[in-house]
A = this chain, B = another copy of it.
């Protein structure tokens, strides 16, 4: 039982900023996407990740890791997206436990229609306010944070 090492001023400042971003940024992204597509940002990311995959299909586990979500969350999300006809499940040929999530043509169409508005919102919320150096630093710092989040 050691005594707590508290945050210094710089750390606290960074943390307060980051905490507010963690609160408000997903909400802002959700708002825009829901208006244009009816689905939240987490669902959009699933479609977007699938669209870039081989044959527009991914194993559930890989998809979960790529998007940064949990199996349960993904399972519910895929069920909802499947019901809209935007993706479908297939059995995994090599592993009978596995499930493949595959983007349908309808899902691809929704994605393509929503992409411009989404990119514009990402620019408005993030990149419009950053210099190229800021972007490079943001990329570097976030890259250092990711490993601790995926155990």
Please give the residue numbers on chain A whose beta carbons come within 8 Å of chain B beta carbons, in ascending order. Answer: 4-7, 10-11, 13-15, 17-29, 42, 45, 67-70, 115-116, 119-120, 122-130, 132, 134-150
Q: List 21 A-B contacts (CB under 8 A).
A: A4-B119, A4-B120, A5-B123, A10-B132, A14-B135, A14-B138, A14-B142, A17-B142, A17-B146, A18-B142, A19-B68, A20-B68, A22-B22, A22-B25, A23-B68, A124-B148, A128-B148, A129-B145, A129-B148, A134-B144, A138-B141
A15/B129 in contact, CB under 8 A: no
A92 → B minimal CB distance (Å): 24
| Interfacial chain B residues near A29, Cβ < 8 Å | 22
